[in-house]
Chain A
Amino acid sequence: MDHLTYKTALIGFLFLPIIGFTQTDTTYQEEEDYSMYDDVEDVGTIVTYCSPKIFDLSPNRFVSLGYDLTGIGEFTSSNEGTFAPDSSGFGTQSSDLKYQGLRLNANIPVISLSKFVWQLGGGINQSRMSIDNEQLGNLGHTQLSEAISRNLTSINLNTTLFKPLNENSFLILQLLAEMNGNYDFKSKQTTPDLNNTKYSGTLIYGKRPHDRLQWGIGLSRTYRAGELNYIPVVMYNYTSENRKWGTEILFPAKAHYRRKFNPRNILLAGYELEGTSYRLYDSQINTQGLELRRSEIRARLDYQRQLVGFLWIGVQAGVILNYNFNVDELASNNNKDFYRGFFGDQPFVFSNNMSPMPYLNLTLNLVSL
């Protein structure tokens, strides 16, 4: 009897868990007749929203680490003076100039729902300028050249809001705060001042008629041309019916033709207008501070391909065409930046030019498709 009781207990102990687990029915049945899913109970109106993307756009970069370097260009500078915005009063002296620098940018989704997307980003972009020291003296004024050769840095914070209004229209709001200058934190005079932060923003109203087209119009406050401007913008992202090619356009900031070799291997051809206004710390004329208005058009081929998983590599090669490299004296009454716009006639204090130069940009990117 004792032996029997022991055996019963042991059997119970061994098999109870199995009995317990098998009480859950985990059977999976393959359905072949999918028409049964056509008729569902009315669950009320399902509000649907358009996606922020269309088919085959180049990948959205969560994190991007890159290096940017140029070939040698010829930098021509005027003497100190007053040069009208449309003047070409460059000096006869020139210096070889090239630059290179690290570019680290991140763009993290804070809220990413079908009815609302909010992304926060930040980045640091450097241009370590190399000017020929012997030629530097020939320019006639070392102040400007020394200021520039202390390297230009831009630290930015940005946010993007995407609000779909319904299944085929949306709003995009982008805001950007930048701290730009030749600062290096080595002294009080060369430490950036938060009061010099530049603020930009773009608001776009757009339509997304189908999965291969997205277009929009809007208004932008931007420093891309080197100094503050208010301009209309046009967005046109398109993918062809055969999905081999398309466009990615946010005019006038950038425009690219896209060729897809396969979903993990794409080539973009086009241009981007890059630029902002840099405070030249520890440099002044009389008592006025200086701002370098820097803007360049990067005409390029941009090849992007998957390395592994969501890690992609990007290689850009092209030509930099100078759009603006002039220097302004700050407003005489308050030593602050001022607005010239397209039609202002405030003169530059230095009028500079730079010859076209080749450039190469390599990036390693963590992306979302």
Chain B
Amino acid sequence: MKQLIAITTFLILLVTLSSFNSNFVAEEGDAIIGLWEPSSGKARVKISKIGNKYFGKIVWLREPIDPKTNKPKTDKNNPDESLRNVPLRGYRMLKDFVYSGDNEWSGGTIYDPESGSTYSCTINKDGEVLNIRGYVGIKALGRTDTWKRIKLKKKK
């Protein structure tokens, strides 16, 4: 009986520790959550977590209105014609990122609304800056953009 209690206690401790570790990794991964501005300054992207993956949605555009139509800008460069009327604001341009440790999120994709192309992507966080590298096939064939964290003004 004592042996059973000892084994059970050991298992509980083991699972508790691994659970703490998972929480720790998850919390580390959550450091990417928040509001970010790409270097072009043309948009703001909110990164959130859904399940165990991270997604980024365009929530602000410097020029939200299409001067040609006088209506909110849509995803008019999308290769899929049926999606060209989808508003850009609210568009999920970062998808399916998983925290892989060491301040890196990988396995996701980034959508470039200006060309209508979706690239493989990794994200590295350096302080309050994200280095976002979109690439074709291998990481060497890509481009890195720097996004800066921004915060909403507190309501008075």
- Measured CB to CB, the residues of A under 8 A from B are 2, 5-6, 9-10, 12-13, 16-17, 19-21, 23-24, 26, 28-29, 31, 34, 36-41, 43, 46, 48-49, 51, 55, 62, 108-109, 112-115, 117, 211, 241, 262-264, 310, 366-369
Contact = CB atoms under 8 A, between A and B. Distances in A.
B141 A26 contact: no
B112 A41 contact: no
Interface in B92-120: 112, 114-117
B115 A41 contact: no
A16 B15 contact: yes
B39 A115 contact: yes
Contact of A49 (B20, B39, B68, B117): B39
Contacts of B60: 34, 37-38
Contacts of B35: 37, 40
A48 to B, nearest CB: 4
A46 B51 CA distance: 33
B143 A112 contact: yes
A28 B39 contact: no
B8 interface: yes
Interface of B: 1, 4-5, 8-9, 11-12, 15-16, 18-20, 22-23, 26-27, 30, 35, 37, 39-41, 44, 46, 48-52, 55, 59-60, 68, 77, 79, 89-90, 112, 114-117, 136-137, 140-146, 148-153
Nearest to A35: B60
Contacts of A37: 35, 44, 46, 59-60, 152
Given A13-B8, A16-B12, A40-B35, A366 B22 contact: no
B75 to A, nearest CB: 12
A20 B40 contact: no
B40 A48 contact: yes
B interface: dominant SS: mixed
Q: Which of B50, B136, B149, B151 has the most CB of A within 10 A?
A: B136
A20 B23 contact: yes
Contacts of A115: 39, 146
Contacts of A17: 15, 18-19, 22
Contacts of A241: 68
Contacts of B19: 16-17, 19-21
Contact of A263 (B90, B115, B148): B115
A103 B14 CA distance: 60
Nearest to A369: B115
A113 B22 contact: no
Contacts of A24: 23, 26-27, 30
A368 B153 contact: no
Given A9-B11, A43-B150, 4 more contacts: A17-B22, A20-B15, A36-B152, A55-B114
A62 B136 contact: yes
A8 B15 CA distance: 15
Across the A-B interface, the 4 shortest Cβ-Cβ residue pairs: A20-B19, A9-B8, A114-B39, A112-B143
Contacts of A367: 136
B8 A6 contact: yes
Nearest to B149: A43
Nearest to B62: A48
Q: Which of A5, A37, A264 has the most CB of B within 10 A?
A: A37
Nearest to A41: B151
Given A5-B5, A9-B11, A40-B153, A368 B143 contact: yes
Q: Which of A5, A17, A114 has the most CB of B within 10 A?
A: A114
A48 B39 CA distance: 6
Contact of A51 (B5, B40, B117, B146): B40
Given A12-B12, A16-B12, A368 B114 contact: no
Contacts of B59: 31, 34, 37
Given A6-B8, A20-B19, A34-B89, A263 B49 contact: no
A12 B11 CA distance: 9
Contact of A40 (B20, B51, B144, B150): B150
A50 B44 CA distance: 17
B150 A41 contact: yes
A113 B98 CA distance: 23
A31 B152 CA distance: 14
Given A21-B19, A369-B112, A62 B141 contact: yes
B137 to A, nearest CB: 7
Contacts of B48: 28-29
Nearest to B87: A34
Given A26-B49, A46-B37, A263-B79, A366 B12 contact: no
23 contacts: A6-B8, A9-B8, A10-B8, A13-B11, A13-B12, A20-B23, A23-B23, A29-B48, A37-B152, A39-B153, A43-B151, A46-B37, A46-B41, A49-B39, A55-B114, A62-B141, A109-B140, A114-B146, A263-B116, A310-B136, A366-B137, A366-B141, A367-B136
